[in-house]
Amino acid sequence: MEAKTKDLWVFVETNEDGSAKNVGIELLAPGRDLAAKQGGALVALVVGSNVEAAVEEAATHGADKVVVVDSPEYKQFSTDAYAAVLTAMIEKYGPTSFLMGATPNGRDVGPRVSCRLQTGLTADCTALDVDEETGCVCWTRPTFGGNLMAVIMCPDHRPQMGTVRPGVFKKPAVTENKAEIIREEFHVDAASIRTRILEIIREAEGENVDLEGAEIIVAGGRGVGSAEGFDVLRELCDALGGTLACSRAAVDAGWIGHAHQVGQTGKTVGPKLYIACGISGAIQHLAGMTSSDYIVAINKDADAPIFGVADFGIVGNLFDIVPALTAEIKKR
Amino acid sequence: MNILVCIKQVPDTNEIKIDPVTNTLIRAGVPSIVNPFDGYALEAAARIKDNDPDTKIVVMSMGPAQAEDALRECLAIAADKAYLVTDRAFGGSDTLATSYILKSAIEYVESWEGKFDLIFCGKQATDGDTAQVGPEIAEHLGYSQITYALEVQQASAEGIQVLREADDCNQVIASDCPCVVTFTKPSFDPRFPTIKRKMAARKATINQITAGDIPGIDLTRAGLKGSPTKVKTSFVPPRKEGGVMIQAETPEEIAAKLFESLNGVHVI
Amino acid sequence: MSQYNPVTPEVIAELEKVVPGRVVTGAEVNPDYARDEMPIYGTRMPEVSIDVLTTEEVSGIMQVCYAHNIPVTTRGSGTGLVGGCTPICGGVVLCTSKMNKILGYDLDNFTVDVQPGVLLQQLADDAMSHGCMYPPDPGEKLATLGGNVSTNASGMRGVKYGATRDYVLAMTVVLPDGRITRMGAAVSKTSSGYSLINLMIGSEGTLGIITELTLKLIPAPKATISLIVPFEDLAACISMVPKFKQNHLNPQAIEFFEKEILITSEEYLGKQVFPRKVEGAEVGAYLLLTFDGDSQEELDNIVEQVAEMLLEEGAMDVLVADTPPKMKDAWAARSSFLEGIEEQTKLLDECDVVVPVTRIPEYVVYVDELAKNYQFRLQYFGHAGDGNLHIYTCSNDMEREEFLRQVDDFWNKVYAKTMELGGQISGEHGIGMGKVKYLAEAVGEANIQLMQGIKKVFDPKMILNPGKVCYSL
- Single residue among C190, C219, C248 that ends a domain in this structure: C219
What pLDDT shows up at residue B96?
A: 95
Chains that touch B (3 or more CB pairs under 8 A): A, C
pLDDT in tens, C143-168: 999 999 999 998 888 889 999 999 99
In this complex, which of A258, A283, A284 lies closest to C343 when CB atoms are compared?
A258
Query: Which residues from A are below 8 Å from C142, CB to CB?
Result: 264, 283-284, 287
The strand ranges marked E within B99-143 are: 118-122
Please count the residues of chain C: 473
> B18 pLDDT band (50/70/90 cuts)?
confident
Q: Provide, as residue numbers in chain C, all residues whose Cβ is less than 8 Å from the Cβ of B202.
A: 300
Coil, strand, or helix at residue C229? Answer: strand
The answer to the question of residue C467 being in a domain is no
pLDDT band at B239 (very low <50, low <70, confident <90, very high): low
> How far are the Cα atoms of B103, C322, C324, C338 from residue C327, in angstroms, in the given order?
35, 6, 5, 19
Do residues C242 and C329 both lie within one domain? yes
Would you tell me which residues 256-275 of chain A have a C-beta closer than 8 angstroms to some C-beta of chain C?
Answer: 258-259, 264-265, 267
- Do C187 and C112 share a domain, yes or no? yes
Q: Does A157 touch chain C (CB under 8 A)?
A: no
Q: Is the pLDDT of residue C45 over 90?
A: yes
pLDDT > 90 in chain A, percent: 70
C325 contacts B195? CB cut-off 8 A: no
Q: Please count the residues of chain A.
A: 332
Residue B25 scores a pLDDT above 80 = no
Q: How far is it, in rounded angstroms, from Cα A307 to Cα A276?
A: 10
Quick one: C371 and C437 in the same domain? yes
Backbone angles phi, psi at B108, to 5 degrees: -65, -50
- Flag if C268 and A258 touch (Cβ within 8 Å): yes
Residues of chain B found within 8 Å of residue C311, distances taken between Cβ atoms: 195
Q: Is residue C257 part of a domain?
A: yes
CA distance C429 to C390: 9
Q: CATH topology for A216-331? A: Rossmann fold (3.40.50)
Side-chain half-sphere of C235: how many Cα atoms within 13 Å?
4
* Full DSSP string of C96-132: -TT---EEEEETTTTEEEE-TT-BHHHHHHHHHHTTE
- Helix or strand holding residue A114 (H, E): helix A104-116
DSSP one-letter code for C424: B
Task: pLDDT band for A266, please (50, 70, 90 cuts).
Answer: confident
- Do C237 and C190 fall within a single domain? no
Tell me, yes or no, whether C2 lies in a domain: no
- Which residues of chain C are within 8 Å of residue B33 when distances are taken between CB atoms? 323, 325
Find the mean pLDDT for residues C405-423. Answer: 95
Average pLDDT over residues C238-263: 89
Domain match, C353 and C431 both: yes
User: What is the spatial distance between Cα B128 and Cα A321, in angstroms, rounded to a whole number?
Assistant: 39
Name the burial class of residue B265, with classes exposed (0-12), middle (13-18) and buried (19+) by CB atoms within 10 angstroms of its CB: middle
Topology, domain A8-192: Rossmann fold (3.40.50)
Q: What angle do CA C451, C454, C458 make, to 5 degrees?
A: 140
Residue C301 has pLDDT above 60, yes or no: yes
* Across A44-48, A310-314, C245-249, least confident range: C245-249
| Residue A283 to residue C343, Cβ atoms within 8 A | no
| pLDDT band with cut points at 50, 70 and 90 for residue A58 | very high
Task: Give the least confident one: A173-177, B164-168, C206-210.
Answer: B164-168
Q: Is B193 on the interface with C (CB under 8 A)?
A: yes
Q: Which CATH number characterizes residue C229's domain?
A: 3.30.70.2190
A232 membership: H or E segment, kind and range: helix A230-240
8 Å CB contact of A327 and B169: no
Is residue C266 in some structural domain? Answer: yes
Backbone angles phi, psi at A107, to 5 degrees: -75, -15
Q: Determine, for residues A258 and C336 on separate chains, whether the beta-carbon distance falls below 8 Å.
A: no
**pLDDT, tens only, A286-297:** 888 887 889 999
pLDDT value of residue B241: 63
B188 reaches A (C-beta below 8 A): no
Nearest-angstrom CA–CA distance, A124 and B51: 37
What does the pLDDT read at residue C1? 47
Interchain CB distance below 8 Å, C270 and A284: no
- Report how far residue B93's alpha carbon sits from residue B141's, in angstroms, rounded to the nearest whole number: 19
Q: What percentage of chain C reaches a pLDDT higher than 70? A: 100
Domains identified in chain C, total number: 4
Closest CA to C227 of C353, C311, C162, C159: C311
Chain A partners (3+ C-beta pairs within 8 A):
B, C
Domain range annotation of chain A? 8-192, 216-331
Domain end marker among C55, C82, C97: C97
Distance of CA B256 to the CA centre of its chain: 41
Q: Is the same domain home to C300 and C399?
A: no
pLDDT digits (tens, 9 = 90+) for B116-153: 999 999 999 988 888 999 999 999 999 999 999 999 99
Cβ atoms A221, A266 nearer than 8 A: no
Task: Kindly tell me if the per-residue pLDDT of C413 is higher than 80.
Answer: yes
Residue-wise pLDDT tens digits, C19-34: 999 999 988 898 889 9
CATH number of residue C133's parent domain: 3.30.465.10
Closest residue to A287, CB basis, from C142, C270, C343: C142
CATH of residue C437's domain is 3.30.70.2740
Lowest mean pLDDT among B25-29, B51-55, B166-170, C62-66: B25-29
Chain A residue with CA closest to C269: the answer is: A266
Whether residue B127 lies within 8 A of chain A, CB to CB, comes out as yes
pLDDT tens-digit series, residues C347-379: 999 999 999 988 888 898 899 899 999 999 998
Q: How big is the B-C interface in CB pairs under 8 Å?
A: 50
Distance from the Cα of A258 to chain C's closest Cα (Å) equals 8
Residue-wise DSSP of A153-215: E--SSSSEEEEE-TTSSPPPPPPSSPPEEEEE-----GGG--EEEEEEE-PPTTTS---TT-S
409-468 in chain C: CB under 8 A from chain A: none
Number of H helices, E strands in chain B: 6, 15
Which residues have CB under 8 Å from B260's CB, separation 6+? none
pLDDT digits (tens, 9 = 90+) for C96-122: 999 999 999 999 999 999 999 999 989
The total of other beta-carbon atoms located within 10 Å of residue C194's CB is 7
3-state helix, strand, coil in chain C (%, to 5): 40, 25, 40
> Are the C-beta atoms of residues A112 and A83 closer than 8 Å to each other?
yes
Q: How far apart are CA C139 and CA A163, in angstroms?
A: 45
Helix spans in C319-397 (H): 324-335, 337-344, 360-371
Range of C315's domain?
223-338
What pLDDT is recorded for position A203?
67
Rounded Cα–Cα distance for residues B183 and B165 (Å): 10
pLDDT value at position A272? 87
Q: Which residue of B has its CA nearest to A105?
A: B166
Q: Do B96 and A114 touch (CB under 8 A)?
A: yes
